[in-house]
Amino acid sequence: MNDDVRRSEALRLWAEGARLIEARRYNDAIITLTRSIELFPTAEAHTFRGWAFSHQDRIDEAIAECKLAIEVDPTFGNPYNDIGAYLIQQGKLDDAIPWLEQATQAERYEARVFPWANLGRIYAARGDRPRAIACFRKALEEQPGYHPALHMLERLIAGTNGFAKIESSRGR
């Protein structure tokens, strides 16, 4: 089997793994994504296998998968945001910031709304209203009407904070 055929089959398996995650069949997704990686490693398959691990509360393994994804393709933005989201989940806000900042600059990433919103959440939690507002505005530039960013921006502009618990956005 040549590389083009292997890559095509690996991407098909990745798409199937993504569908299995959406169906909450995490073990099946991990098996399918592992087959994809064994056939032809892609940043997508590593990132999504990490996402499946995260749904099983295997956060350290999820982060490791994202780092493998970055090794395969450092231009792919999803794993940078996902690492940031996982670190937020672990309460490691300072550690999350550089990963999220890298996601906002990634060459190959169509969902920059998520790292901007995640950065906004961190700055809001820290009480840094101006930076939080700037991040949420950037998120809305990326995706006008993104409800979580709109809601948080409205709260910050109104002078209310109350972001005791930070929920991160992984997105895809």
CA distance 81 to 154: 24
Q: Could you identify the residue written with the tokens 């921006």? A: 153
Per-residue burial over 15-38, b = 16 or more CB atoms within 10 Å of its CB, e = otherwise: ebbbebbeeeebebbbbbbebbbe
Q: How far is CA 11 from CA 5, 78, 84, 142, in A?
A: 10, 16, 25, 27
Residue 171: band (very low, low, confident or very high) from pLDDT cuts 50, 70, 90: low
Judged on CB neighbours under 10 Å (0-12, 13-18, 19+), 136 is buried
Domains of the chain: 1-73 (1.25.40.10), 100-172 (1.25.40)
Q: Are 50 and 79 contacting, i.e. CB atoms less than 8 angstroms apart?
A: yes
How confident is the model over 58-95, as pLDDT tens digits?
999 999 999 999 999 999 999 999 999 999 999 999 99
Q: Could you identify the residue written with the tokens 């499946």? A: 52
Instruction: Show Cβ contacts of residue 121 under 8 Å, excluding neighbours closer than 6 positions.
Output: 88, 132, 152, 163, 166, 167, 168
Q: How far is CA 166 from CA 27, 40, 55, 70, 161, in A?
A: 27, 36, 17, 25, 12
CA distance 98 to 96: 6
Q: What is the mean pLDDT of residues 94-121?
A: 97
Q: What angle do CA 145, 147, 151 make, to 5 degrees?
A: 115
CA distance 33 to 11: 9
Assess whether pLDDT exceeds 50 at residue 164: no
How confident is the model over 130-154, as pLDDT tens digits?
999 999 999 999 999 999 999 999 9
